Chains A and B, each alone.
Chain A
Amino acid sequence: GNSVTQMEGPVTLSEEAFLTINCTYTATGYPSLFWYVQYPGEGLQLLLKATKADDKGSNKGFEATYRKETTSFHLEKGSVQVSDSAVYFCALSSVTGNQFYFGTGTSLTVIP
């Protein structure tokens, strides 16, 4: 079946530190992969996505590369800011697009 496993939090970093949030997946076929972000008091927002192997999604300084060989889609950012404090969810869509599977979320707190 399809599933997503992501790094457990919470994660606390100092401003300008390097961020990695690990995400691995199990899927039938070739799913699309996503990172969603939920800022405090707000709804889920799409951060970035990749639809095929070796694609790199990027947005707001965040990047993630679809690695089929390691079934991973790790989220990275070179220099985090306080405003990046949020909960980050890794997700995949089934090949048909009928179902989405989310990880449990990783809470990030960036301190000045």
Chain B
Amino acid sequence: QVQLVQSGAEVKKPGASVKVSCKTSGYTFTNYYLHWVRQTSGQGLEWMGTIDPRGGVTKYAQEFQGRVTMTRDTSTSTVYMELSSLRSEDTALYFCATQTSPYCTDGVCFPDYWGQGTLVTVSS
């Protein structure tokens, strides 16, 4: 079955970078886009961007342009999200999610399988 397993919690200082991994299994990695969505404490869900694992093409939300980088490793079926210049407002639970519906032809779709989330805490 489809599984997404994320790396463990991180604590970072302001100005640092964090790199979160998302290892996938149970499906053909290059078939489906991967998204990153974050959730700040007590707040809603915020889409950060998506990556097409076939060619590594990315699409980022404007808010994160210049600070986020999404990459993939096809040999291990893993995607990565790196966020730089961290500030306290980036403290959040970060999720990876994939979209496996046959109706999804690009990244503009609905994620249906999610990782367990990775808590990133930014504190001096």
The judgment on whether A and B are partners is no
